[in-house]
Amino acid sequence: MLTKKIAVLFSGSGSNLEAILKKVHNQIFNGVKIEVCLCICNKPGAFGIERAKKFGLETLVIESAKFKNREEFDAVLVEQILKSGADLTVLAGFMRILTPVFTAQIKAINLHPSILPLFKGAHAIKESFESDMMIGGVSVHYVSEELDGGKLIAQRAFEREDGMSLDEWEAKIHAIEHEILPESIIKILTKEVNV
């Protein structure tokens, strides 16, 4: 049986990591087994490390704060990912802007909490909520040199409800994220979607 491996990079609570581990890790889709072969976190106290342990996975902590610049950090990431043999790298709440050192060598996808190209960057949830938009949503895209600018793989939107709070808006986004990211991984690794 064909096995495809993924590396998952995260920075925080790891709820999207857990969604991947529950829905994709060691599962078989269209005759392809998908396995998480590497978890990397750039923050030593991140709760996602505990979530990975529940699935028997150790997380490699590479503290971004300890590097002189982004390029040095990215070079270490690339080295570890290449060593792992991952077919695809998934950024699941990985709060780092990646340089060409990474983007030129690693096939990666990113999850973003807005309907791109709107609301790029780290404050997308708040910015989309505070906008006049009547919809919010989530995008999955390939990672490129441009921040949140790579080719889109999937998007899903929801309608703003009357009186919706920021917390409700955010909860809706996270619920969609936990569906759309695993689905995108399966789609790419079982159908060989071209970049």
15 labelled ligand-binding = yes
26 labelled ligand-binding = no
30: phi > 0 → left, psi -120 to 50 → alpha, else beta; which?
left
Residue listed under structure tokens 């982004």: 70
Amino acid at site 75? A
Report DSSP state, residue 24: T
185 labelled ligand-binding = no
98 labelled ligand-binding = yes
Alpha carbons within 13 angstroms on the beta-carbon side of residue 52 total 25
16 labelled ligand-binding = yes
Q: Is 112 a catalytic residue?
A: yes
Catalytic residue among 112, 123, 141, 178: 112
194 labelled ligand-binding = no
Which are the contacts of 53, defined by CB distance < 8 A and separation ≥ 6?
Answer: 59
96 labelled ligand-binding = yes
110 labelled ligand-binding = yes
Full 3-state SS string of 130-187: HCCCCEEEEEEEECCCCCCCCCEEEEEEEECCCCCCHHHHHHHHHHHHHHHHHHHHHH
85 labelled ligand-binding = no
> 33 - beta bridge partners?
3, 28
Q: Are 142 and 109 in contact (CB under 8 A)?
A: yes
Which residues are the active-site residues? Answer: 112
Return binding residues for (6R)-10-formyltetrahydrofolate. 70, 95-98, 110
Return binding residues. 14-16, 70, 95-98, 110
